[in-house]
Amino acid sequence: MQAILVLEDGAVFKGSSFGSSGEVLGEVVFNTSMAGYQEIITDPSYKGQIVMMTYPLIGNYGINQEDAQSRRPFLEGFVVKEHSKIASNWRKEQGLGEYLKENNILAIEGIDTRQLALRIREKGSMKAILSTVDFDEHSLANKARLSRGLVGVDLVKDVTIPRKYAYTRIKDAKFKVVVLDCGVKYNILRELLRHKCNVTVMPAWTTAKEILAVHPDGVLLSNGPGDPAAVDYAVKTTACLIGRVPIFGICLGHQILALALGGATYKLKFGHHGANHPVKDLKTGKVYITSQNHGFCVDIDSLPKKDIQLTHVNLNDGTLEGLRHKKLPVFSVQFHPEAAPGPQDAEYLFAEFARLMQKSILRRTPA
């Protein structure tokens, strides 16, 4: 079956469909990871986006349920140079094309992904349309131009859970953690489990009062899709939690925390999507290779320097990658310490969160 991808600027990429059929709109972005396509496809942070992989051959080890990062894929569409028809791996449960069709995700192969990546780098991420039913290029370009895009749009409501649930309960747990689910990846929950946390996952619109009612030792603000400024309810909740419980923010959670602290965010030209972004720890001078997926960023100059310490910076473009409150047990990072996919350089941050919770417990424990 034929498929066509058209950008808002009129650029046309023709190929073949290997997923579901139909038509979808979204912001087209590129991801530079060489592996981990299943984790990328199932990352809820890609809601509202059509994801193009720069690595030319995708699908050669198949799909398995164990590596999924959410209950289903949330991205709008998937773009590759070549979809591998042969998938060989002892963990494989089904092929990539079969999985995408099963989950109603459109996908296109056979286009010049290098040309598309260069166009995005030059002009920035653009609104686009992927179709297997309409091949009128002018009509498609107009549909893309008129689509809503990401700025000012709340996409978190489309990926968060409808009601709270207990992720796990372990006998030797040391901490009770609430995860505010803005589109949390499962590997974040697994890391919390590994650090002896009993985890309760709550919807993104949960109030501070409802969170504090379960008496958590800490709150984790999760990753998620879209414009952080549009998720004002989560910002309000976070502002009410600051100073009352240790907080750890990841990706969108980092942006939400920054907004709650009085900062501002802005949209990047083409975002950071990949597993090889160098980030410098400003305290130690160490450089970590990190997994990233975000299109918005915290404005460094907007943060109140009196209270906030900048902890990490991106070595590719100098953008903010981490912050910490100077007095309160509150910190966050823009990158993904849980990886999945990507390097595990930054796993130590979960241990740091555990240390903050332990200090908080000791402070409120009678001598």
Q: Known catalytic residues?
A: 251, 336, 338
- Residue 299 to residue 167: CA distance in whole angstroms: 34
> Do 105 and 77 contact (CB within 8 A), yes or no?
yes
For 282-295, give one letter per residue: b (16+ CB within 10 A) or e: eeeeeebebbbbbb
Token pair for residue 145?
């131009």
Q: What SS3 state is found at 238? A: helix
Q: 221: which strand partners?
A: 180, 249
> Do 216 and 178 contact (CB within 8 A), yes or no?
yes
What is the identity of the amino acid at 342? G
Token pair for residue 221?
């603000």
Q: 5: which strand partners?
A: 13, 130
Angle between the N-to-C axes of helices 348-364 and 186-194, in degrees from 0 to 180, rounded to the nearest 10: 60
- Residue 76 to residue 41: CA distance in whole angstroms: 10
